[in-house]
Amino acid sequence: MKVESLDEGLLLALLNTTPTVAGEVTDRLADPEEAGAWIAEHAGEAHLGEDLALLRSTRDTLQALVHDQATPTALAPALHGVSYQPFISDTGISWRLATPREHILAARAIVAWDALRHTAPGRLRACENKDECTLFFVDHSKSNSARWCSMAGCGNRMKARRHYERRKNAPTIT
Ligand SMILES: [Zn+2]
């Protein structure tokens, strides 16, 4: 079965709506106005009717799943009424996700998460700079060894901190 587009971008954007800013975990979907701006930016204004509470709880579950702290059964509410519909033509069959209007984005994010589990197992991960960062990333590197949401940001900060720790713990030469 050919699944339409892999909504990896939407999934990552949703997982990353709780960034740590100045040491505090924030939530871009907490305020309805800010959440509306987020939806318009990432999915288009046609999706402003999305059920925000369900989108947030789906996000929380997906985040917990990445951290191995939930089971997929918790995703059931956002998959209620979701199905794939066949579109048949002379050249073949394509399948489209059919979902109630109020949880299109939540369902698309779940489908993307599930697709990633099969096509790229273990590559959706949380940034290892856990003290300062609550972002997620998909490791597309050949070696599958990425540890941070971004090398320029958290990668460099972690390296600098390790360097500092080493120097601090090194015996002083007199
Ligand atoms: Zn990070």
Distance 40 CA to ligand 1 centre (A): 25
Domain ranges of the chain: 8-122
Residue-wise pLDDT tens digits, 13-22: 999 999 999 9
From the list 148, 144, 145, the residue with the least C-alpha distance to 130 is: 148
Q: Are strands 136-138 and 124-126 parallel, antiparallel or unpaired?
A: antiparallel
Gyration radius of the chain over CA positions: 20
pLDDT score recorded for residue 2: 43
Distance 145 CA to ligand 1 centre (A): 14
Distance 86 CA to ligand 1 centre (A): 40
pLDDT tens, residue order, the chain (174 aa): 444 456 899 999 999 999 999 999 999 999 999 999 999 999 999 999 999 999 999 999 999 999 999 999 999 999 999 999 999 999 999 999 999 999 999 999 999 999 999 999 999 999 999 989 999 999 998 999 999 999 888 988 888 888 888 888 777 666
From the list 127, 162, 133, the residue with the least C-alpha distance to 147 is: 127
Are 73 and 22 in contact, with CB atoms under 8 Å apart?
no
